[in-house]
Structure 1
C-alpha cells in the first residue's frame, strides 16, 4: 500500500490508459450495438474534454481528494482517524461509503435543475463508447471533487483506500460505458454485483424513465436498494437510442457547444 501511495499518479494513469485501449479494442471485436459516431471524432471530443477538465482542476483547486486524505491522516482528522476500528475494516468501509456517495451525488445531478444543466452534457452522447466515461463538464468535475474532498476530510478516509477507489471508479466507468457485448453467462454473473455495459446503457437511453435510473457506477446494490434499478431497456440494445431531445439526434454536439451548454436554454428539436 505504501508503494501504491508513493506512485499514485503513475499507477492511476497507467491503468487508465491500459483499460482505455483494452476496452477500445474489444469494442471492435464484440460490439453491443453499431457505432453511431465516427471513432476519431468521438475520441477527439471526449479526450479534449478530459484535457480541459484536468487543466480546470489544476487551476481552481490547489489540492485534490488524495491531498486532503493525507492531510487528515497526518493531523488525526476525520472519523476513521479518531475512532480506531482497525485498518482493513476502515479500508473496506471507505470503499463502500465512497461508492454510495458517488451514487447519491449522481442522483443529485439529475434532480437539481442547476446541476442537471451541467450533467446533461454527459447524456448528449449519441452512441456510447469507452471515452464517454470521461465526458463531463469541468464545472461538474470541480463540484464533484469538492464534495469528495469534504467527505474524505469528515470521514478520515485512508489514503490508500481513496486511491484504490479512484482506480476502481475510473476502470469500471470505462468498462460500463464501453460498447461491449458480454457473453450472457458472464453478463448474468457480473451484473449481480457490478454495473455492466448493459445496465449502464439503459441510463443513457433517451427515455426519461430510463435516463433517471441505474445511477450507480461501480456496485449495482445502491440502485436496487433505493429503487432506481432498471433491469432491461424498453428497446433492444441495437435499436436503443441514446442522447437527449434538446440536443437532437441527427449529429453529435461539438466541443465548444458542449462547454457553453450549461448556460443555454434548449428547446426540444423536431425530429
Structure 2
C-alpha cells in the first residue's frame, strides 16, 4: 500500500501539489472559522467558486502540457538560462522561485491592462466577499492564459522540474492564505508584510474602489508592489467597512456559474493603469 502511494506521487508530482493544497485549504477554512477578519458571506459563493475551479481543471486537463513538463523538456534540450549557467542546485531553485514570483506579479498586473484580459480576470474580482474560496475563483480562459505565461517563463529561465513543482506548491498554498478571511494580529502583519504578502494587503486588491483594487498584485513577496509603484498599505474605509467586488457585477443574477462563464463577453471598461494611490 505504501509503495502504491509513493508511486502515485513519484510519477506525477502534480498529485502531491493537489494533496498539499487540499490540506492547506482545510486548515485555512478552520482558521477562518476560529479567527475571522470580517463577517464572511458564504451562501451560494462557495459552490460557485468550487464549480469554477472544477471547470478550469477540466479544461486544462484537455491540454497535455504542464509547467513541470515544460521544465523537463527544456532541461532535456539544454534550453533556458539555468541550463546554460551551471550553478548549485539550491541556488538555482531559490532564484527560480523568486524570478517566477516576479513574473507572476507582471502577469497579474497585465490582467488589469488591456480590456480583453481584464474581462477574463474580472471574474475573480467580481466575488462580493473575500475568503479562501476566492483563490479558487478564476475563469477557465484566464487559467489557460496564466499557464501559457508561466510556461514561457519556465522555458526562458530553464527552471528545474523541482523548482517548478516547489513554486507551484508554494504559490497554490500561499494564495489560499492571502485570500483568507483570517485575522492576523497587527504586530505580526506589520513584520510579515515587510517581505511577504499578507491577507490584509491582498484584501485591498479586491476593494470595490478601482484606485485600491488596482494595487497589491504580488502573491508571495511584497517587494514587487513597492518597487513598481503599485503598493497600497491600508484601505481608506478600513478592513471592516471596505466593500469587496466590482460595482457592475453585484446583483445575484451576475453571480451564477453561467453568468460568470459568460461574463468575459459582456462589455465593461478596464480599470485604470496601476500607479501610486492618490
After TM superposition, the score normalised by the length of structure 1 is: 0.92
Residue of 51, 58, 67 corresponding to 1:48: 51
For 1:250 and 1:49, how far apart are their aligned partners in 2? 16
Distance in 2, matches of 1:166 and 1:236, equals: 32
| Number of aligned residues | 263
**Distance (whole Å) between structure 2 residues aligned to residue 99 and residue 5 of structure 1:** 25
Matches within 5 A, 1:39-78: 41-59=44-62, 61-78=63-80
CA contact (8 A) 1:65 1:148 kept: yes
Residue in 1 aligned with 2:215? 213
Which residue is equivalent to 2:141?
A: 139
Aligned partner of 1:204 among 197, 206, 224? 206
Deviation at 1:154, TM superposition (A): 1.7
CA contact (8 A) 1:5 1:163 kept: no
Classify the secondary structure of the residue corresponding to 1:89.
helix
Deviation digits for residues 22-53 of structure 1 (CA, Å, limit 9, x no counterpart): 11111111111111332xx2221111111110
Q: 1:23 aligns with which of 19, 28, 32?
A: 28
1:111 match: secondary structure = coil
C-alpha separation in 2, matches of 1:227 and 1:93 = 23
Q: Report if aligned partners of 1:128, 1:177 keep a CA contact under 8 Å in 2.
A: yes
- CA–CA separation in structure 2 for the residues paired with 1:207 and 1:85: 45
Shift of 1:74: 1.7
| CA distances 1:180-237 after superposition (whole Å, capped 9, x unpaired) | 1111222122111111110000000001110110000111010011111100011121
Secondary structure at the counterpart of residue 237 of structure 1:
helix
* Structure 1 residue 92: Cα displacement: 1.2
Answer with 245-254 or 63-72: which moved more. 245-254
Equivalent residue in structure 2 for 1:8, among 5, 13, 27: 13
Assess if the C-alpha contact under 8 Å between 1:243 and 1:249 holds in 2: no
Q: Any stretches of 5+ residues in structure 1 without a counterpart?
A: none
Counterpart secondary structure, 2:144: helix
Give the drift of 1:9: 2.3
Mapped pair 1:114 → 2:119: no
Gaps of 5+ in 2: 1-6, 270-278
RMSD value, Cα = 1.8
Task: State whether residues 126 and 252 of structure 1, in contact with CA within 8 Å, keep that contact through their aligned partners in structure 2.
Answer: no
User: Are 1:37 and 1:252, in contact at CA under 8 Å, matched by a contact in 2?
Assistant: no
The two structures have a TM-score, normalised by structure 2, of: 0.90
- 4+ residue runs of structure 1 moved beyond 2 angstroms? 3-7, 248-252
Looking at structure 2, the residues matched to 105 and 190 of structure 1 have their Cα atoms a distance apart, in angstroms, of 24
CA drift at 1:110: 0.2
1:125, 1:252 within 8 Å by CA — same for their partners in 2?
Answer: no
Cα deviation, residue 68, structure 1:
0.7
